[in-house]
Copies of this chain bind each other. A is one copy, B any other.
Amino acid sequence: MVERKLNFSAGPSQMPLEVLKEMQDEFLCYKESGCSVLEMSHRAKDFEEIIFGARDTLRRIMEIPEDYEILFMQGGATTQFSMVPMNLAKQGDTFTYVNTGQFAGKAKDEGARWGNAVVTASSKDKTFSYIPDEITVAPGSKFIHITGNNTIYGTSYNSLFDHGDTPLVADWSSAILGKWIDVKDYDLIYAGAQKNMGPSGLAVVIIKKNLLELEVDPVVPVMMRYKVAADNDSMYNTPPTYSIYAAGKMFSWVEKMGGVRALEEINKEKAEMLYDFIDNSALFTNPVRVKDRSIMNVTFTLPDEALTKAFLDECKMKGIINIKGHRSVGGMRASIYNGMPKEGVKTLLDTMKEFEKNNR
């Protein structure tokens, strides 16, 4: 095996080595099944154990109440951008979006295909470096949609706001399981798995059961109906079996580590290490308003392109990969999900400190 590096990718992202080793060990033959999980019929008992086990573990670690359904879906968060309006509203209905970045904007664009997508608050004026303080619901909205953690800009909703009786929908892709989210505060949460839950190709939806009873326009494809997914235990057609298996392993690992709250504490410490240094640095800058900072994605910049390049080269030499910021904003971004241990963050921090010393 070639040496594993420190992978700060925003997603797909680093997984705990012990989880990967367990998967490698049973790669050719899963338990008594006689085959690899990759080869396993989704109608086989062994797979039922895998998918229902994953669902039950997720319910425990997120303390998901019984009046919420857990769905495993394909197409990532981007497919959810369309499914939410198609399932929660009729064509032409009004719904509210908060614009806190690129994916929030994309969610709104998909909503606009279906109805009257109103943006009531935005942080675009300051390059999405904060979460708006005043968020209102457009009159008659069938739901209000937020992007809980903004991966590109390193912001996060660290508290919620008053939305009355309007259902609250949140894309928590890049913070789910890395930060405590109280499910009861939401009517629908969705998340791409490829951050804290393992592999890409899987999206998890946590939806209040009463929303499954809404009438859905006949034009909506069968694969985009929450009720169909719920009625068929997420297996209306062949599900992404291996991704569900991998996510299940991640859920069990979270439980073994003491749960989401325990991991959140570790993640806070990891993030604080970086933010503390950056805030006291003469060289590195983080533009995000302190109370809106993400503990999952820490963004930072250097004064010019030459220094940025020099730092990225330095990282490469230290075995630090995927630390470059999103192409739309530049700079650096350290994604420090559950799979990134404290020692990894420490190595990054040491590299930053040394770089500052050498470039004062």
Binding site for B on A (CB under 8 A): 1-5, 7, 9-15, 17, 20-21, 23-24, 27-29, 31-36, 38-42, 44, 74-79, 81-82, 86, 91, 106, 109-110, 113-114, 192, 194, 198-202, 218-224, 236-243, 246, 319, 321-322, 339
Contact = CB atoms under 8 A, between A and B. Distances in A.
Copies of this chain present = 2
Contacts of A86: 221
Contacts of A1: 28-29
B35 A321 contact: yes
A54 B78 CA distance: 24
Contacts of A34: 2-5, 7, 319, 321
A322 B34 CA distance: 11
Given A75-B223, A76-B237, A219-B219, A15 B41 contact: no
A48 to B, nearest CB: 14
A229 to B, nearest CB: 11
A82 B221 contact: yes
A321 B43 CA distance: 12
Nearest to A1: B29
A299 to B, nearest CB: 16
A29 B12 contact: no
Contacts of A339: 39
Contacts of A76: 74, 223, 237-238
A194 B9 contact: no
A33 to B, nearest CB: 8
A264 B60 CA distance: 48
Given A28-B1, A200-B242, A238-B194, A7 B39 contact: yes
